[in-house]
């Protein structure tokens, strides 16, 4: 039977949509032209799928909700039907000792561990499950897990709970594990965003299945195939940045014309994430449709990027007809359309438009030593 006539392995998803989703995942993980078939085969080999345990530590449950409420084709369909989700406090039926039994058994069977939420280092007792503290659970079960994936900015870096003065001492799971009395070389795959995105999780799990190893990670423990470009690199408002067309204040003419948010605090030039690529709400919209990027996929962004509505320093912005974009403001409206068109053509021809890098100047991804490493 031709592949496209076989039934879909995912309930509620047509074979056509299943293959389409497989192609999307294959593109996301960089699996090459034959990748879609491999991805589809991997998903269909359901019995070989990893067992997944999902823990909730110090968080708001927003990542779980974002995952479960995603629209078709849904990561939730894949995770709940095709991946053996052995334990998730928010979504599972068992409770009490039965739940604890599922948790332990799953690790005995070789589970991957997805963690949502941070570790409260200063007040360990603020998060306790079954009489054990979150930090102790992390240290006890890390060695038993086949791989550990931190989903959402809380689990990766502490997020809002880590905002100064950080009363609970919130830490990302990887940093906690590698801390005093921990596991020095602990490797955690970080999938930050607030909330975490189901596609990032499914793509990472599929990557592990198809490639047989953990993905290459950047300096912050994020898979390079997902976090290799800045928001600025892939932003639909980038042409306006290059043209020096900026929103000066919310609700102004620039806002109505959907110009660039840089001057009202957009952190896109310094933020690595695939938000423009896999988006939200059935992949139809993302933050930049509504306002500036806050940089939520970056370590310590609440502290480092505050105040959130101030422009990032040291980002070179284009000069238009000798006038810096920092200074032109709405005076830009006076620049003739012919002049702007000529400028844009010049940018495109020179290759400057859509050039990569955190500063929009062609710098590459900030690779440092791998913090969260390769395969365990």
**CB nearer ligand SF4, residue 22 or residue 159:** 159
Rounded Cα distance, 199 and 219, in Å = 21
**CB nearer ligand SF4, residue 109 or residue 249:** 249
Beta bridge partners of 52: 85, 112
**CB nearer ligand SF4, residue 139 or residue 232:** 232
**CB nearer ligand SF4, residue 35 or residue 172:** 172
**CB nearer ligand SF4, residue 135 or residue 311:** 311
Reading the block at residue 77, the tokens are: 């369909």
To ligand SF4, the closest distance from the beta carbon of 181 in angstroms equals: 25
For residue 67, what are the contacts with CB-CB under 8 A and spacing of at least 6?
75, 76, 79, 196, 198, 201
To ligand SF4, the closest distance from the beta carbon of 281 in angstroms equals: 15
Reading the block at residue 186, the tokens are: 């602990």
To ligand SF4, the closest distance from the beta carbon of 331 in angstroms equals: 19
Reading the block at residue 155, the tokens are: 């689990």
To ligand SF4, the closest distance from the beta carbon of 15 in angstroms equals: 33
**CB nearer ligand SF4, residue 99 or residue 317:** 317
**CB nearer ligand SF4, residue 25 or residue 288:** 288
Residue with tokens 């979150």: 134
* Bridge-based pairing state of the strands 323-324 and 319-320: antiparallel
Nearest to 269 by CA among 216, 318, 342: 318
Residues that bind ligand SF4 (CB under 6 A): 59-60, 62-63, 116-117, 152-154, 159-160, 194-196, 231-232, 235, 237-238, 241, 260-262, 266, 268-269, 288, 293
For residue 339, what are the contacts with CB-CB under 8 A and spacing of at least 6?
320, 321
Nearest to 202 by CA among 375, 79, 372: 79
Nearest to 147 by CA among 60, 228, 211, 95: 211
- Tell me the residue ranges of DSSP E strands in 247-290: none
**CB nearer ligand SF4, residue 40 or residue 202:** 202
For residue 277, what are the contacts with CB-CB under 8 A and spacing of at least 6?
28, 234
To ligand SF4, the closest distance from the beta carbon of 130 in angstroms equals: 20
To ligand SF4, the closest distance from the beta carbon of 315 in angstroms equals: 8
Q: How many CB atoms lie within 10 A of CB 7?
A: 10
**CB nearer ligand SF4, residue 86 or residue 293:** 293
Reduced DSSP (H G I as helix, E B as strand, rest coil) percent helix, strand, coil of the chain, to 5: 45, 10, 45
To ligand SF4, the closest distance from the beta carbon of 17 in angstroms equals: 27
Mapped onto helix, strand or coil, the DSSP state of residue 305 is coil
* Bridge-based pairing state of the strands 128-129 and 84-88: unpaired
To ligand SF4, the closest distance from the beta carbon of 34 in angstroms equals: 33
Reading the block at residue 212, the tokens are: 């047989």
To ligand SF4, the closest distance from the beta carbon of 3 in angstroms equals: 37
**CB nearer ligand SF4, residue 79 or residue 260:** 260
Contact 106, 114 (CB under 8 A): no
Rounded Cα distance, 20 and 31, in Å = 14
Rounded Cα distance, 347 and 241, in Å = 11
To ligand SF4, the closest distance from the beta carbon of 49 in angstroms equals: 24
């Amino acid at each position: 039977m031709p592949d496209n006539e076989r039934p879909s392995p995912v309930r509620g998803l047509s074979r056509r949509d299943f293959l389409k989703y497989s192609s999307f995942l294959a593109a996301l993980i960089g699996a090459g032209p034959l990748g879609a078939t491999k991805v589809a085969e991997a998903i269909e080999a359901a019995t070989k799928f990893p067992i997944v345990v999902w823990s909730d530590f110090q968080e708001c449950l927003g990542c779980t909700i974002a995952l479960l409420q995603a629209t078709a084709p849904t990561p939730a369909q894949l995770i709940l039907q095709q991946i053996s989700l052995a334990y998730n406090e928010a979504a599972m039926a068992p409770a009490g000792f039965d739940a604890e039994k599922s948790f332990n058994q799953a690790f005995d069977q070789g589970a991957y561990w997805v963690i949502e939420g941070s570790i409260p280092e200063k007040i360990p007792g603020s998060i306790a499950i079954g009489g054990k503290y979150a930090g102790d659970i992390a240290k006890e079960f890390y060695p038993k897990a086949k791989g550990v994936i931190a989903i959402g900015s809380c689990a990766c870096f502490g997020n809002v709970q880590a905002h100064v003065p950080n009363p609970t001492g919130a830490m990302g799971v990887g940093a906690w594990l590698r801390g005093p009395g921990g596991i020095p070389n602990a490797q955690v795959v970080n999938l930050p965003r607030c909330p975490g995105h189901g596609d990032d999780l499914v793509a990472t799990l599929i990557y592990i299945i198809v490639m047989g190893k953990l993905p290459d990670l950047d300096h912050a423990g994020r898979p390079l195939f997902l976090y290799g470009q800045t928001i600025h690199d892939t932003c639909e408002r980038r042409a306006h940045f290059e043209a020096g067309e900026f929103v000066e204040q919310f609700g102004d003419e620039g806002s109505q014309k959907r110009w660039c948010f840089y001057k009202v605090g957009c952190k896109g030039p310094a933020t690595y994430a695939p938000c423009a690529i896999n988006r939200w709400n059935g992949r139809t919209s993302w933050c930049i449709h509504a306002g500036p990027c806050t940089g939520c996929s970056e370590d310590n962004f609440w502290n480092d990027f505050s105040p959130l509505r101030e422009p990032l320093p040291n980002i070179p912005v284009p000069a238009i007809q000798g006038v810096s974009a920092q200074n032109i403001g709405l005076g830009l409206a006076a620049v003739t359309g012919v002049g702007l068109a000529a400028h844009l053509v010049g940018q495109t021809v020179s290759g400057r438009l859509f050039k990569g890098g955190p500063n929009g100047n062609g710098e590459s991804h900030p690779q440092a030593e791998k913090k969260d490493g390769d395969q365990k």
